[in-house]
Structure 1
Amino acid sequence: MTEARPAAIRREVGDFLRSRRERVTPQQAGLPSTGRRRTPGLRREEVAVLAGVGLTWYTWLEQGRPINASTQVLQAVARALQLDDTERRHLYRLAGGPSTPEPEAAESDPGLAAAFQPVLDKLDPFPACLQTPLFDVVAYNRAYRFLFTDMDLIPPGERNCAVQFFTDPDWRSRYVDSDLVAARMVARLHAEVGADIGTPAAAGIVDDLRERSQEFARLWARHDVLPQRYETKRLDSPLVGQLRLNFVSTGVPETGHRMTVMTPADEATSRSLDRMAGLTVATARG
């Protein structure tokens, strides 16, 4: 990490490292127990010893001071904190490694949404959408339009899955396992934002959600990170009841967008999606 890194990113590095340090016990790190501790997890001096770096340097790193950190040193810190692959990539991105395109660039390409729209439409009755790295929905098909609510009634600037989930109780209620979804959504947003936290778009959505949702602020402060991956979710459709959907995402490397397709996880859901298509066809044409 070089001195040119913005202050907001340096603070994010420090907060992330501190949150990981507090989760590793001395026993997990192979250190002897030294009795009662005022704070959970490892002490800074223990991390410095395990990583083979100076205590002052590591302290400054956690404090967000403008210091240099080589890849080798970051690898040593990652090993000391027992970071998994996703957390390790997140740290490298924050500290100046490869990153996804800036969210502003991803949002500013209406041609991409237009190019994907025929593909999304062909996927009906499977719900499908195109999102930016910050969860803004920029294109969707008819099935997705009516999955949570009528998306066409939401102003384009507010069609963000995280914003809707944490600020609209009706949208959130569509997720059967909403508490689990909340934690995973914030962790994925953390991973997506990464080193882009200093950009206006990323900082804007994070600051807005922290102000509007205490739950989001609490989960964000945990600094958990998760990659986008295949998983099955249970949704309660306002039109056809409970659905079990496989969420499958495909990334667009040039822009950081991802296309998410929701396929039925069982026969009952498949029949329900067909029924929903019949119920919404007239509304969509109107």
Structure 2
Amino acid sequence: MQNQTRLQALSAFLKAQRAHVTPQSVGMPAGIRRRTPGLRREEVAQLAGVSTTWYTWLEQGRDIKVSAPVLESIASALQLTVDERKYLFALALDTGMGVTSHREETPQISLSLQKILQELKICPTIISDRRCNIVAWNEAASHVFLDFERIPPEERNLIRLLFSRKELRRLAVNWEHFVSGFLAIFRAYYGQYVEDDWYDRFLKEMSGVHPDFDRLWAESEVSSAPEVLLHFRHSKAGPMQFHLTSLQVQGAAELRCSIYTPAPDTTTEAKLSKLMAGST
């Protein structure tokens, strides 16, 4: 990612986070003449102990000198989560991972990870890389989501599929909620790999092809491992509920294991068993 793109991403993030913080939540009066939601720039500057001019320059994406202690103060003023703080630091200090190649080989799945996939028989599971490309999945995932084997490898990107495949749009009762979890993960990667311009190219591609992408991307949070309850309406099995747990896989390849566990006290597990047995 080029320096200007990084600074633009920082600017957009600060503006979005400032809009989410109410004056009351930080002990300030609400006032009666607020034209925009959230805090004003001068209020963030006051809370962080910096000048309004300096904070304005930072939020405008100017290439100015910043320090970790000042960023901590800004993060506290904006009430950022741990993942949001990491995102702020990566963009402001340019501390993301360096990337030496724009073409990356498909990560190899270890035998132990393959075994885990096989054993999670009743839990749809997807393994993806840091670009959200799908590199492995189990049988349950093919039954609930898509037959990924029929999708060309270069098109097996989770974000792209969520926006392009009608089956996935119909599957989720609240499709935007479904997408938000993956966009939160993608944004965490985006901040971490600030030197990889693949992300910028991908975002431009998605923005040009899918009209609703820009809004959802702008509204997305930052989370390395969101845990959410998803409501599906499967075309064959009917209503289903899953808890999504996203785990980082330790090793040389940066992989993520997304596990969909059937919600307890529901008929989801029984429905999935019948679906996989071919009796639904």
TM-score range, shorter chain: 0.7 to 0.9
Where does residue 57 of structure 2 map in the other structure? 60
Q: Does 1:251 align with 2:265?
A: no
In structure 2, runs of 5+ residues without a counterpart are none
Aligned residue for 1:165, secondary structure, equals helix
Question: Which letter maps to 2:268?
Answer: T
Q: Shift of the alpha carbon at 1:64? A: 1.3
- Moved >6 Å (runs of 4+): 103-106
Separation of aligned partners in 1, 2:99 and 2:132: 13
CA deviations over 1:191-225 (Å, ceiling 9, x no partner): 23214255232223222222222222102123522
Q: Deviations over 1:216-248 (max 9, x none)?
A: 210212352233233332223334333222323
The answer to whether residue 277 in structure 2 is matched with residue 278 in structure 1 is yes
Matches within 5 A, 1:1-286: 6-32=3-29, 35-96=32-93, 99=96, 108-112=105-109, 116-254=113-251, 255-266=253-264, 268-279=267-278
For residues 222 and 85 of structure 1, what CA distance do their matches in structure 2 show? Answer: 18
Partners of 2:152 and 2:233 lie apart in 1 by 23
- TM-score, structure 2 as length reference: 0.85
Q: 1:31 to 1:143 in 2, by over 3 A?
A: closer
Of the structure 1 ranges 39-48 and 70-79, higher mean CA displacement relative to structure 2 is found in: 39-48
Report the 3-state secondary structure (helix = DSSP H, G, I; strand = E; otherwise coil) of the residue aligned with 2:232: strand
Shift of 1:60: 1.6
CA RMSD of aligned residues (A): 2.9
- Check 1:223–1:52 CA distance in 2 against 1; reply closer, same or farther (3 A cut): farther
> Does the CA-based 8 Å contact 1:93-1:194 persist in structure 2?
yes
Give ranges in structure 1 of 5+ residues lacking alignment. Answer: 281-286
How big is the shift at 1:34? 5.2
**Amino acid across the alignment from 2:261:** T
Per-residue CA deviation, residues 53-91 of structure 1 (Å, 9 max, x unaligned), is 122221221121211211100011112222233322221
Q: Is the 8 A contact 2:229 2:242 kept in 1?
A: yes
Of the structure 1 ranges 209-218 and 240-249, higher mean CA displacement relative to structure 2 is found in: 240-249
Distance 1:73 1:61 in 2: 11
Moved more, 62-71 or 201-210: 201-210
Distance 1:31 1:242, change over 3 A: closer
Query: Would the alpha carbon gap of residues 100 and 130 (structure 1) be closer, same or farther in structure 2, given more than 3 Å must change?
Result: farther
* 8 Å CA contact 2:230, 2:243 repeated in 1: yes
Return closer, same or farther for 1:56/1:182 CA change in 2, 3 Å cut-off.
same
Seen in structure 2, the aligned counterparts of structure 1 residues 117 and 200 have a Cα distance that, compared at 3 Å, is farther
Whole-angstrom CA distance in 1 between matches of 2:161 and 2:155: 8
Distance 1:117 1:176 in 2: 30
Q: Is the 8 A contact 2:44 2:77 kept in 1?
A: yes
Letter in 2 for 1:20: Q
Q: Report the CA distance between 1:148 and its aligned residue.
A: 1.8
Report the Cα distance in structure 1 between the residues aligned to 2:276 and 2:61, rounded to whole angstroms.
Answer: 52
Q: Does structure 2 conserve the Cα–Cα contact (< 8 Å) formed by 1:197 and 1:203?
A: no
Given that 2:248 and 2:257 are in contact with CA atoms closer than 8 Å, whether structure 1 keeps it comes out as yes
TM-score by length of 1: 0.83
**Superposition deviation, residue 109 in structure 1:** 4.2
